[in-house]
Amino acid sequence: MFKKLSLLSFIVLLVSVTVFHTGCAVIIPPGGGPKDSLPPVLMQAVPALSAKNFNTNKIVLNFDEYVEVKGIQDNLIVSPLPKINPVIDYKLKTVTIKLRDSLLPNTTYSLNFGNGLVDVNEGNPLKGFNYVFSTGKYIDSSKLAGNVMLAETGTVDTTLIAVLYSNLNDTAVLKTKPVYMAKINNKGDFHFEHLPNQRFNLFVMPNDYLKRYDDSTKMFAFADSSQQASLNPVTVKLLAFEEAKKKEKKTTATKIDKKKLVYTTSLDNFRQDLLSKYIVLTPSNKLKKGDSTKIRLVDTAWKTIESATVMIDTAVSKIYLNNQWKAADTLRLIVDKMAMTDTFGNHLEKDDTIKFAVNKVADYGSLKIRFSNVNLKKNPVIQIYFNDQLVESKPLIKNELFFKLFHTGEFEVRVLYDENQNGYWDTGNYKQHKQPEKVEKFKNKVSVKANWDNESELAL
């Protein structure tokens, strides 16, 4: 009896302890350690890196951790460019490459994975991993390097690619694909490595499936002469341009009211910009005709301002009222209901009188900009942009510009080297071997405060 009670007591005690600890104990998960920030490490390659007399169609890469290959289309660059892309498979710690294209004799090949080879756990990329081999007795080691900027804006487009042609005929880029390709970084730089010691024609173009210059609306750049690959290449400067502008796609048209004609004005909250010559009237429907005599500008005494003129554009889609504005002036714009007739024969429903005020001088600031590193011998034109819209363009005769009144805000400043002195940027033409005019963007922006003497110093 004593033994049975002892056993029963032991079981009750064991259950009690288990329940107590299960309900009250704080469960602490095991520590995970520091976050893995290291990329995969290549442990073995078959055939080995920089293999010579390469004669297989299969490459196996073994790493120190589980890996995967991401974004093959965006990351992998095979040089020379194959007709048929290789097949890339990965499983656990192994990446397998199956070559499907015939290999050229005595040629150095490279497979650059960009940032596409990563570890599974944290996605750490093995940046710029490059598997190189040769079907000949040695690895080519010549290089080419360059930099490309968009000629019209002085900015960089990383979606473009640099390409090389071993065929030095000028028409090769119009008809065939290149032999080598390189990506462009956010500074506009590109690099070719493991090239044979020979000359190439160098171009820049969009990374599309054609990879040739078949459309004058494509962004494009070309070196003036063929380039020699070498061990210590000089950086080639290129300017990318669109020879012809793309036709804008027709947007969904605003619904036309065949029974009604209205218009809008360029006035901003019933205020006129002191620095703008015009008030622009935009009708809702295309006009058949407009009558400039039925649009008047009057003062507070309703006296007509005779110096104001009205112009109707040739497309009869806008009407411009031109005047020399006086700061803080209060005026009225009178639009007779017969001033506009649309193609449906509609007139305005009634005469309109719009009261508005001209901005004050205190709404603007003065602006002085001093420039350095601008070549005054190359006919520089200073271009000032607000939200990518050109607001001021002025030739630079000395290293300083001054505006008595300027709009407020933050502005981007560029310099156009206007070779033909026509006041605006001119594009290039490959068939004529004409390079585009060059635009450079200043590093810093200009800030203008209202009712303030604003000064800035800008350097390229």
How far apart CA 276 and CA 272 sit, in angstroms, is 8
Residues 194, 132 contacting (CB under 8 angstroms): yes
Task: State residue 251's pLDDT score.
Answer: 55
Parallel/antiparallel/unpaired status of strands 352-358 and 271-272: parallel
pLDDT of residue 304: 97
Residues 345 and 376 both lie in one domain: no
CATH, residue 312: 2.60.40.1220
pLDDT of residue 36: 75
Last residue of a domain, one of 337, 361, 385: 361
Q: Are 48 and 114 found together in one domain? A: yes
Residue 234 lies in a domain: yes
Separation CA 424–CA 411 (nearest Å): 19
Show the domain range for 181: 142-240
**Is 319 among the domain residues?**
yes
Q: Quote the strand ranges of 32-141, DSSP E.
A: 42-46, 58-63, 67-69, 77-79, 87-91, 94-98, 108-112, 117-119, 130-134
Residue 3 lies in a domain: no
Residues in the chain: 460
Q: Assign residue 214 the CATH number of its domain.
A: 2.60.40.1120
Q: For residue 107, what are the CA distances in angstroms to 2, 47, 126, 147, 274?
A: 93, 16, 26, 26, 68
Same domain, 218 and 167: yes
Number of domains in the chain: 4
Integer Cα distance of 359 and 298 in angstroms: 17
Q: How far is CA 170 from CA 197, 212, 237, 431, in A?
A: 20, 12, 19, 8
Q: Are residues 150 and 129 in the same domain?
A: no
Question: Which pTM value belongs to this model?
Answer: 0.83
- Beta pairing class for 108-112 and 142-150: unpaired
Same domain for 310 and 349? yes
Tens digit of each residue's pLDDT, the chain (460 residues): 434 444 444 444 443 434 334 344 444 445 555 677 899 999 999 999 999 999 999 999 999 999 999 998 899 999 999 999 999 999 999 999 999 999 999 999 999 999 999 999 999 999 999 999 999 999 999 999 999 999 999 999 999 999 999 999 999 999 999 999 999 999 999 999 999 999 999 999 999 989 999 999 999 999 999 999 999 999 999 999 999 988 766 555 566 778 899 999 999 999 999 999 999 999 999 999 999 999 999 999 999 999 999 999 888 899 999 999 999 999 999 999 999 999 999 999 999 999 999 999 999 999 999 999 999 999 999 999 999 999 999 999 999 999 999 999 999 999 999 999 999 999 999 999 999 999 999 999 999 999 999 999 999 9
252 in any annotated domain: no
The answer to whether residues 329 and 386 belong to one domain is no
Q: Residues 43, 63: contact at Cβ < 8 Å?
A: yes
pLDDT of residue 423: 93
> Is residue 356 helix, strand or coil?
strand
Q: What secondary structure does DSSP assign to 238-265, as a single string? A: EEEB-SSPPPPPPPPPPPP-TT---EEE
Question: Which residue has 């007709």 as its token pair?
Answer: 83
Instruction: Give domain status of residue 346, yes or no.
Output: yes
Residues 369 and 352 in one domain: no
117: in domain? yes
Residue where one domain finishes, among candidates 361, 390, 411: 361
Is residue 82 a part of any domain in this protein? yes
- Domain assignment of residue 455, yes or no: yes
Domain boundary among the residues 340, 361, 382 is at 361
pLDDT at 173: 97
**In this structure, are 71 and 146 located in the same domain?**
no
Q: Are residues 276 and 357 in the same domain?
A: yes
Are both 440 and 377 inside the same structural domain?
yes
So what's the pLDDT on residue 19? 36
Tokens representing 90 are: 């990965």
